Amino acid sequence: MKPYAEMSREELQQELAELKKEYQKYQHLELHLDMSRGKPCREQLDLSMGMMDALYSGADLTCEDGTDCRNYGVLDGIHEAKVLLGDMMENHPDNIIIYGNSSLNIMYDTVARAMTHGIMGGVPWCKQDKIRFLCPVPGYDRHFAITEYFGIDMIPVPMSPTGPDMDLVEKLVSEDETIKGIWCTPKYSNPQGYSYSNETVRRFARLKPAAKDFRIFWDNAYGIHHLYDVNQDYLIEILAECKRAGNPDLVYKFASTSKITFPGSGIAALATSENNLVDIKKQLKIQTIGHDKVNQLRHVRFFGDICGMVEHMRKHADIIRPKFEAVEEIFDKNLSGLEIGTWTKPNGGYFISFDALPGCAKEIVANAQKAGVKLTGAGATWPYGKDPQDSNIRIAPTYPPLEDLKIAAELFTLCVRIVSIKKILKEKSAEA
Amino acid sequence: MKPYAEMSREELQQELAELKKEYQKYQHLELHLDMSRGKPCREQLDLSMGMMDALYSGADLTCEDGTDCRNYGVLDGIHEAKVLLGDMMENHPDNIIIYGNSSLNIMYDTVARAMTHGIMGGVPWCKQDKIRFLCPVPGYDRHFAITEYFGIDMIPVPMSPTGPDMDLVEKLVSEDETIKGIWCTPKYSNPQGYSYSNETVRRFARLKPAAKDFRIFWDNAYGIHHLYDVNQDYLIEILAECKRAGNPDLVYKFASTSKITFPGSGIAALATSENNLVDIKKQLKIQTIGHDKVNQLRHVRFFGDICGMVEHMRKHADIIRPKFEAVEEIFDKNLSGLEIGTWTKPNGGYFISFDALPGCAKEIVANAQKAGVKLTGAGATWPYGKDPQDSNIRIAPTYPPLEDLKIAAELFTLCVRIVSIKKILKEKSAEA
């Protein structure tokens, strides 16, 4: 097919009429498909059912160091869980705190603590005039929701396949001491599936922030979430790199087993420098006596060690890889050459990012919704839900069954074509 | 024995010499006993091992409403867990949010939210000049630690067997709009084991706070933690009473299964009015996608319903009742008539409260520690760890094995006698 922009008005109108007929067929199917959130599917969850047998009534719930996991205590997590998640995060167990079931909750609490108590003796953010965060875009809506909730100004920074625009990041961070943080999903980023290049990570580790209480919020949500055995992205470990660069306290790094075992019933962790850990534990010991050690032990007993976890992730990949490939195949088949959109082809993570022609995203999502396919709201990938180009759409292929997903992807491309033609026709009218 | 104060100096000196010899015997035992925290003992934890079998690899982890507990979602908890904890807390399931593993964490988050975002549209506490809390004393050190951490001024209010001094509470709360809260453990209070009388609860429900953003922090930690089948304390349900009094939004009520199943691996809940729930959920949805539903389901499947839970609590009581009675017996035997201390005899909860002669608590605790028995630090039951009388000591009888506990209680009374005699002798010298 030739690009839509090069077609005549008549050609476009004929194409539009055919596409609309097809769209009506989908409407008659009364679909109820959900591609809106990065949720594992049932088959993925089934992979972890063995974890329910890892502890049983006859089991000894004692840690290697003699701690009875069933009782109070151990503020920062049992040692064997720190080893397992340390291996997963590529950090030393001593740099890790194991929390509850949600890394998002850790991030929220981290911002909340900075608001009321500052960072390492600094002025509490709520007592400072203005607080700003850099937000690589497109990015993760739940990150942006936290900073918005606390009244923190968000400054978008463009993403590229190698990571955020580091020239801009360096400039802003070094000049403006109201900038206190940046949200990063450095590996298989949400939503593009990009992984930061070596240079990007090195430049992050060497930032010279104007604000002493600036921290990188490094959400390594997809650290071992590869789709392929061979084509795996590699990310330089940020804590070690910061240490080498003489910036040891620059980063808070987050991860969880939410998309490894059960979302909402996994374990989450923070890795950071010793100075930051001391600072954080002053607060943590007030907030809780300790997190769920039984669930920590359950994870350790189920996986044994990181090898067990890596093997487990292969099984996840086997289930979701065909879904990513199906979406990409349908996008290729239906959109290639039309020049009405671009999309990413990640090696891991949970999302594909689609960029429509400017001004089309909202309408595409609305049209898909009308035909029974729920997508992440257009704009969600931008701070305040406002995509200035109205272009980016996040595709989440993991949750629907493969056959449903194919239907949803077909419908999605149909909506993209219809909305794009309408836009081009409108432009041609304006020109005429 | 006659009261020490009525003994002559010679009698006291002779008694002291004998007691010191006895104390030395204990020192030779090289004890390592811990009566410092309200921790269940191993036999209590064993009662819940069946919960580890409640879910297994072949089990269906689907809720009654079709929710797959293994996946993301359900911000405020699964319905069947709300029913179970609702029955436990005597509240309607619709008034409940199920959280993670710790009610202390809910209380912390509740104060933190009020600091940064205020309560129901009120000015955030961190933007108000001065924030004060009332603290019934003696009370729970971890409550006081939260308010201290947030820089909230704490005002002690005396406890009595019927609850806090309500004349004082009513006066302060109605006159001073900087007073925003009061910490209550209304049933089997920490540390005295007192339960608020009907009149006390009714007066709480009818408070007319000067501050619109005043809330009662009602930590119903020991709601079903009776020691006896017959002698059970009864507490008027505060939410219903507040509603009847036209004060529906006055209370946040907290509870957990920490001392029912496994401390740190249980489930915790908040019960409050619909208005408060709406306010709280605005924040909660930013903080997390949801809490651990698998653990919620595990608790529901293990207990079945509230009858199962009540039956389970009888087994706890059978284990810890002899411990409370042993302590009381030894206190009676060794201290009765000496007029050097008073102690409570609770029908439930986790503590016995001991009041020594003024100025003696710190030394008693230090002496016990020197002989290998760890007690809760003297002063811990007061805000800022400062007991102005240096009199109150919290006794936690549940954790040590019965035989150890008896030794510890004997030693404790010995320390009380030694320190009291020294004090009385000093006073007699001063008089002479």
Residues A258 and A188 in one domain: yes
Residues A34 and A168 in one domain: no
Work out the pLDDT band at B53, boundaries 50, 70, 90. very high
Kindly report, residue by residue over A221-272, the tens digit of the pLDDT.
Answer: 999 999 999 999 999 999 999 999 999 999 999 999 999 999 999 999 999 9
Res B1: pLDDT: 76
Residue A51 falls inside a structural domain:
no
Give me the percent of chain A exceeding a pLDDT of 90: 98
Residues A190 and A332 in one domain: no
Residue showing tokens 């017959």 = B230
DSSP assignment string, A65-109: TS-BTTSS--TT--HHHHHHHHHHHT--GGGEEE-SS-HHHHHHH
- Token pair in block for residue B55: 């879910």
Region of residue A290 (phi > 0: left; psi between -120 and 50: alpha; otherwise: beta): left
Residue B54 falls inside a structural domain:
no
Work out the pLDDT band at B379, boundaries 50, 70, 90. very high
Res A337: pLDDT: 97
Mean pLDDT of A176-183: 98
B50 Cβ under 8 Å from any chain A Cβ: yes
Range scoring the smallest mean pLDDT among A29-38, A158-167, B389-398: A29-38
User: Of B304, B324, B339, which closes a domain?
Assistant: B304
pLDDT surpasses 90 at A1: no
Query: Chain A interface, mutation test: which of B61, B67, B72, B104, most A Cβ atoms within 10 Å?
Result: B72
Residue B392 falls inside a structural domain:
yes
pLDDT surpasses 90 at A82: yes
Residue A52 falls inside a structural domain:
no
Residue B52 falls inside a structural domain:
no
Res A271: pLDDT: 98
Res B423: pLDDT: 98
CB atoms within 10 A of CB B426: 11
With an 8 Å Cβ cutoff, are B100 and A104 in contact?
no
> B69: which chain A residues are within 8 Å (Cβ-Cβ)?
262, 264-265
Domain with B170 in it: 63-304
B372 Cβ under 8 Å from any chain A Cβ: no
Residue A58 falls inside a structural domain:
no
> Hey, what long-range contacts does A277-282 have (CB within 8 A, 24 or more apart)?
A277/A76, A277/A95, A277/A97, A279/A119, A279/A120, A279/A121, A280/A97, A280/A110, A280/A113, A281/A75, A281/A76, A281/A97
ipTM of the complex: 0.97
Beta carbons of B339 and B4 less than 8 angstroms apart:
yes
With an 8 Å Cβ cutoff, are A71 and B100 in contact?
no
Mean pLDDT (chain A) is 97
The shortest CB-CB distance from B116 to any of A45, A48, A115 is to: A115
pLDDT surpasses 80 at A432: no
pLDDT surpasses 80 at A118: yes
> B292: which chain A residues are within 8 Å (Cβ-Cβ)?
100-101, 264-265, 292, 295
Res B375: pLDDT: 96
Residue showing tokens 């003024």 = B358
Question: In whole angstroms, what is the distance from residue B8 CA to residue A388 CA?
Answer: 90
Kindly report, residue by residue over B238-271, the tens digit of the pLDDT.
Answer: 999 999 999 999 999 999 999 999 999 999 999 9
Beta carbons of A336 and A2 less than 8 angstroms apart:
no
DSSP B253: E
Res B77: pLDDT: 98
Work out the pLDDT band at B133, boundaries 50, 70, 90. very high
User: Of A242, A271, A304, which closes a domain?
Assistant: A304
Residue showing tokens 């470990």 = A237
| DSSP β-bridge partners for residue A179 | A132
> Minimal Cα–Cα distance from A385 to chain B, Å?
14
Work out the pLDDT band at B185, boundaries 50, 70, 90. very high
Residue B348 dihedral angles phi and psi, to the nearest 5°:
-175, -175
B77 Cβ under 8 Å from any chain A Cβ: no
User: Of B287, B304, B321, which closes a domain?
Assistant: B304
Residues B286 and B367 in one domain: no
Res B431: pLDDT: 82
Mean pLDDT of A77-83: 98
For chain A, how many structural domains are there in total? 2
Residue A49 falls inside a structural domain:
no
pLDDT surpasses 80 at A126: yes
Range scoring the smallest mean pLDDT among A3-7, A25-29, A360-364, B62-66: A25-29
A54 Cβ under 8 Å from any chain B Cβ: no
Work out the pLDDT band at B278, boundaries 50, 70, 90. very high
Res B220: pLDDT: 98
CB-based burial of residue B334 (10 Å sphere; 0-12 exposed, 13-18 middle, 19+ buried)? Answer: middle
Residues B170 and B109 in one domain: yes
Residue showing tokens 């969600």 = A380
Res B389: pLDDT: 97
Global pTM reads 0.97
Q: For the CA atoms of chain A, what is the radius of gyration? A: 23
Residues B153 and B262 in one domain: yes
pLDDT surpasses 90 at A431: no
Question: In whole angstroms, what is the distance from residue A423 CA to residue B4 CA?
Answer: 97
Residues A366 and A272 in one domain: no
Mean pLDDT of A37-64: 97
Res B139: pLDDT: 98
DSSP B385: G
Residues B120 and B83 in one domain: yes
Mean pLDDT (chain B) is 97
Kindly report, residue by residue over A277-290, the tens digit of the pLDDT.
Answer: 999 999 999 999 99
Residues A328 and A287 in one domain: no
User: Which residues, including other chains, have CB under 8 Å from residue A271's CB and lie 6 or more apart?
Assistant: A86, A89, A91, A95, A96, A239, A253, A255
Range scoring the smallest mean pLDDT among A180-189, B28-37, B187-196, B247-256: B28-37
**Closest-CA residue to A131 (of A191, A194, A97, A180):** A180
What's the order of all strands across the beta sheet hosting A392-395?
A341-343, A352-356, A392-395
Beta carbons of B235 and B187 less than 8 angstroms apart:
yes
pLDDT surpasses 90 at B189: yes
Residues B33 and B138 in one domain: no
User: Which residues, including other chains, have CB under 8 Å from residue B91's CB and lie 6 or more apart?
Assistant: B237, B239, B253, B271
DSSP assignment string, A153-219: EEEEEEEETTEE-HHHHHHHHHH-TTEEEEEE--SS-TTT-----HHHHHHHHT---SSTT-EEEEE
Q: Residue A363: CA atoms inside 13 Å, Cβ hemisphere, count?
A: 16
Beta carbons of B74 and B96 less than 8 angstroms apart:
no
Res B311: pLDDT: 98
With an 8 Å Cβ cutoff, are A289 and B116 in contact?
no
> B149: which chain A residues are within 8 Å (Cβ-Cβ)?
117, 283, 286
CATH at A103: 3.40.640.10
B151 vs A222, B181, B248, CA distance in Å?
38, 14, 28
Residues A68 and A184 in one domain: yes
Q: What end-to-end distance do the CA atoms of chain B give, in Å?
A: 24
Res B293: pLDDT: 98
For A285-304, give one letter per residue: b (16+ CB within 10 A) or e: ebbbbbbbbbbbbbbbebbe
Query: Chain B interface, mutation test: which of A281, A294, A295, most B Cβ atoms within 10 Å?
Result: A294
pLDDT surpasses 80 at B157: yes
| DSSP β-bridge partners for residue B392 | B355
Residues A368 and A284 in one domain: no
Residue B49 falls inside a structural domain:
no
Q: For helices A79-89 and A293-303, give the axis angle rounded to 10 degrees.
A: 60
A53 Cβ under 8 Å from any chain B Cβ: yes
